[in-house]
Structure 1
Amino acid sequence: MRLFVATLVMFVLTLPAAALERFTFPSIDGGTLDLGDWRGQPVLVVNTASQCGFTPQYDGLQALYDRYADQGLVVLAVPSDDFNQELATANEVKAFCEINFNLTLPMTDITHVRGPQAHPFYKWLRQETGFTPKWNFNKVLIGPDGTVIETYGSATRPMSRPVEAALAAP
């Protein structure tokens, strides 16, 4: 486990916290979600979709949020139709997630995560780290200091050892 954490630390990409503070997302509930509001907290940003084989990961995202929210963790779901697997409207997505997964974690409105229409956060992430979501339920763990600790593909479950180890790292 220590070797894994040490390896993770070696690959941490140091990004200024102030850079994250310039990003806002439209909230699925109306208004905006400002990453700057979560300065000093770890944030797991996940591009999601309601009609994907990985959609059951919503259960794991909520469990992760429930388990670590008292320690400051924010799990941000970013519904996206970039892979043609999202419902047509934000209201449908919100209802689907509430009914099927009882989600209480913050969610954005339907958002592009790749290509020329990608949200500025994802454009910045690609420019700074080379990471672009390759499918739904890709994850980006941002440390309390604004560094990108790690990125994960769809197959990495939210309550998996790599994610929890990264959260436990100082």
Structure 2
Amino acid sequence: MTREAASTYGLRRPERSERTPPSSEPAITAITMATVPVKSTPASPAEAFAQILDLAEHNTRRPGRTKMFNVLAAEAGDPGHPAHPFFVRRYAAVVGHVAGALEHAKAAGGLKQDTDCVGVAEELAAVMDGLQLQWALNPGHYDMTTRLRRYLDRTLRSLTGDGSGLNAK
């Protein structure tokens, strides 16, 4: 947060003692890293998108860890945070995983040739994180998985030459 924005809205950055105690940061980082599901390489964009949906559904069943993950990801934006390298690697892996499936499909003629596979993968990671944050703020009134499914279906339909989406076989 910038000082100007903080001043405008009467906000201040919490002192480290008001956030997670430094002694527990490595433990929280370890727990978060250990709970990230690893999936096999998807055979198609639809399968890659289905894996993303599976992760979103998984996250709704563990609200405490999901909220902790959101907080840790935000705090890890500080390059000095112990989880910073993990989140840099995590996002690179997620983008690589999805982009690889998209590139494979593009080469096989299943996606439009002008598809920016890395750009789409980066957007999907950002959309999922944004939806997850909205869900964390109001889980009883926000259906993250359904919203993500609709977004992924629209995205896939816009990328495939035949307009097929998630429900296509």
Q: TM-score, normalised by structure 2?
A: 0.26
Larger Rg: 2
Higher helix share: 2
Q: TM-score, normalised by structure 1?
A: 0.26
Higher strand share: 1
Higher relative contact order (CA 8 A, sep 6+): 1
